[in-house]
Amino acid sequence: MIDLAVFFSAVRKTLFPNGLTKGQVDGMERIIKCWEDEYSKNRWKIQLAELAYILATIYHETGKVMRPIKEGGGQQYLRSKKYYPYIGVGLVQVTWAANWKRWGISSIEDGLSWPIALRATFEGMAEGAFTGKKLSDYIGNGRRDYVGARRIINGTDRAQLIAGYAEKFREALLAAEQKQPTPAPVPEAATADFRAWLLAALREDEEVREAILALVYPGEELTDEPNQVSELDPMDEPHDEYGPEMAYADNDYGSA
């Protein structure tokens, strides 16, 4: 999970020095949430270092607005493109008829929709759909070639510049990454047969009783009084269904 407050604080200092707009914040929240919910797991497993390069590419291709846009320029300029009328749309400027068809784009409005733009960006860059080059060719397994990764989208155009953006996004993501603590192992409840044996041993076998007391009270001098160990209250035994955990209501049992 990414702590968005930490992330935005970091990128505001390095990538958005003039402040963040609501559109930029909304856009990055959508992108990060999409990664967390879908593309960081399942068959994709896009790593944090790869997400940083995706964000850097979007930052560059959208002119820093961080939302789906259409290719800029007048009609004369756009008509001069070999891929016209399939002009650049989305977060990474999807062009050419084959790519529009692949991502279900039949109009500019389709390409500007968030679901299509996100899917085209994440899957296109992960699968190498745009140029045959994919994220894992440059990032992962100890490798982080952000300069070479520009070939995923557009040869070497502005490769060094975008690599610099990616490093800054990566630093922000690392600072904001929330490590999930590993839960402590929960011991399994003893079986009924074992509990019955233990109770009998405590009552009847002095050696077993002394050994257990030595473990529970190490270093303490204990007497041989037979009533030193009381019979376990059945209400203190682990519940067969819910196990040994106990929960109390807030402010109960002497809490202030």
DSSP line for 182-204:
PPPPPPPPPPHHHHHHHHHHHHH
pLDDT by residue (tens digit) across 24-49?
A: 999 999 999 999 999 998 889 999 99
Helix axes 4-14, 22-34, angle to 10 degrees: 130
pLDDT by residue (tens digit) across 114-137?
A: 999 999 999 999 999 999 999 999
Residue 243 carries which DSSP code? B
Q: Class for domain 4-176, per CATH? A: mainly alpha
Are the C-beta atoms of 132 and 153 separated by less than 8 Å?
Answer: no
SS3 223: coil
Query: For all residues of the chain together, what is the average pLDDT?
Result: 83
Q: What's the pLDDT at 153?
A: 95
* 201 confidence band (pLDDT: 50, 70, 90): confident
- Chain centroid offset of residue 65 CA: 23
Q: What's the pLDDT at 251?
A: 43
DSSP line for 158-172:
THHHHHHHHHHHHHH
Decide: pTM greater than 0.85.
no
φ and ψ at 73, to 5 degrees? 115, 155
- Domain positions in the chain: 4-176, 192-256
pLDDT by residue (tens digit) across 241-251?
A: 333 444 434 44
